[in-house]
Each structure stands twice: as structure tokens, then as C-alpha cells.
Amino acid sequence: MKKVLILCTGNSCRSQLAEGFIRHFAGDTAIVYSAGIETHGVNPSAIAVMAERGIDISSHTSNNVSEYANIDFDYVITVCDNAKESCPYFPTKAQKFHYNFPDPAKATGTETEIMQEFRRVRDMIKDYCSDFVKTHLSN
């Protein structure tokens, strides 16, 4: 079984969305973790937009990357430039991937506009994760 780590800055939005989608698409072919270089708690709007797609991430926790230093990952995916540049080094033979998704937590405007940005980013991450699973985790 493959081990996947998804990293972002605060482990509150983008990495949580990606963890939910990769778990959903990969099923029992992978163990999926997410972490941040900081921990900001899981964003309630991320939970809400995933629930709209039938994926429950309400029990996810916000974890620091240092908690996973002893896990031998097969894949590490960074989902923001800050995490890619700032992540502390830990020895791994993991294949690394990077995609800089916009941070929906930085969206401004009305509540409706902010939620539209969360949905837009969610759908970008969904497409990325679907392709990742098809390419790297499907038998």
C-alpha cells in the first residue's frame, strides 16, 4: 500500500481538500496524510465545500509535518509554493510533486464570493487528485 503525504502552509484548506479527494479516489490503495509547516486547524469552509461533494473531512486534524518524520512515504505532494520552499528537510525517497493552488482562505468579499472561491479551488484540487490517483495509485 502506497503512503502519500500532502503538504501546505497551515494544513487547514488545500492539503485537507487534497487529502479528502485522494482518500476518496484511491480507496484502499493508499494511506493518505496531510500536514503543514504550521497548523491552523481545519477550515470550516473546507469542510463545508467537501460535504457538498459527499466527502466528510470533519474528523480531519491539522498536523505539523514534523509528526511524520519517521514515515517512509512513496509520494509527497506540496500544494503551495510556501510549503515547497519552507518545508523542513526530512529524509525520504518519496517521489515529489508540486502544484501551487490558490489559497481560498485568503479570499475576500461577501460570504457568497468567498464560498465561490473555496468551490473553485476545491474543484481544481479534485481534478488534480483524480489525475494523480489514476496515474500513480491505480493498478
Q: Does the predicted TM-score (pTM) go above 0.85?
A: yes
The fold of 2-136 is Rossmann fold (3.40.50)
SS3 35: strand
Between 117 and 83, residue with greater pLDDT: 117
- Domain ranges in the chain are 2-136
Which pLDDT tens digit goes with each residue over 104-126? 999 999 999 999 999 999 999 99
CA 135 – CA 139 distance, rounded (Å): 9
Q: Which of 76-90, 105-119, 125-139 has the lowest mean pLDDT?
A: 76-90
SS3 32: strand
Active centre residues (catalytic) = 8, 80, 87
CB-CB contact of 7 with 65 (8 Å): yes
- Once rounded to an integer, what is the mean pLDDT over residues 72-101? 81
